[in-house]
Structure 1
Amino acid sequence: MERQPEKSGKIQLDPDNVEQGLSQLVLTVIELLRQLIERHALRRVESGTLSEEEIERLGTALMKLEIKMEELKVIFELEDEDLNINLGPLGNLL
């Protein structure tokens, strides 16, 4: 039976389960970038610099990216809280 990583808010780089820790780290970085892109997109929409077509394409792309992230979390058996790693004195990442 495979041991599940602890939910400590830290990246789990157990030598016996390095794939899980690596997938957690990669998905954390992707989630951070996804959130930054989403915030930037919202600012552009609110500023009125995008056409209706651009807003539609942007919304579709963001929805697809979120769906793909959910699929990857299922594949790697990760939850949202697994991607919110603890940065020590800086607090949580997400």
Structure 2
Amino acid sequence: MFYGIIAMVILYVLLNYILAWIRYFNSQDERLGQSTWRWSYDYEVDGERDISDLDDKNFVRLRRKRNKIITLMYSVVLIMFILSMSLLSQILIFFLN
């Protein structure tokens, strides 16, 4: 139970660090928007959608970095959820026995 609490604190600090990176990427270009929880795939451009980095290299590469860090954020949130369920069951077993 002690290690579970320590792991949750470490994951919480890691999640705050990841969220700070997402806010940093959002502040680099207004086309990314201010959303923390969604991936961004495209934006309004004249002509075809940018499927490669030929149209706007800097923005597309920034968007790809941001999407990777958002994927990492979802992974940490999933691990935190699983760990919290395990920690809750350990706490209940401790108090109910």
Short-chain TM bin = 0.5 to 0.7
Conserved 8 A contact 2:4-2:83: yes
1:57 CA drift (Å): 1.0
Q: Partner residue of 1:27?
A: 11
Q: Which has the larger Rg?
A: 2
* Aligned counterpart, 2:24: 40
Contiguous gaps of at least 5 residues in structure 1 = 1-16, 79-94
| Distance in 1 between residues matched to 2:21 and 2:70, nearest whole Å | 12
Of the three residues 46, 71, 86, the one matched with 1:64 is 71
Q: TM-score, normalised by structure 1?
A: 0.53
* Whole-angstrom distance in 2 between the partners of 1:63 and 1:32: 12
Deviates more, 1:68-77 or 1:27-36: 68-77
What is the aligned partner in structure 2 of residue 73 from structure 1?
80
TM-score by length of 2: 0.51
Higher helix share: 2
Deviation readout 1:12-66 (Å, 9 max, x if unpaired): xxxxx211111111011101101111111111123xxx81221331232122112
The letter for the 2-side match of 1:28 is Y
In 1, Cα distance between the equivalents of 2:70 and 2:13?
18
Instruction: Specify every segment of 5 or more residues in structure 2 that has no aligned partner in the other structure, as ranges.
Output: 31-56, 86-97
Identity among equivalent pairs (%)? 12
Q: Amino acid of the residue matched to residue 77 of structure 2?
A: E
Deviation >6 Å, runs of 4+:
none
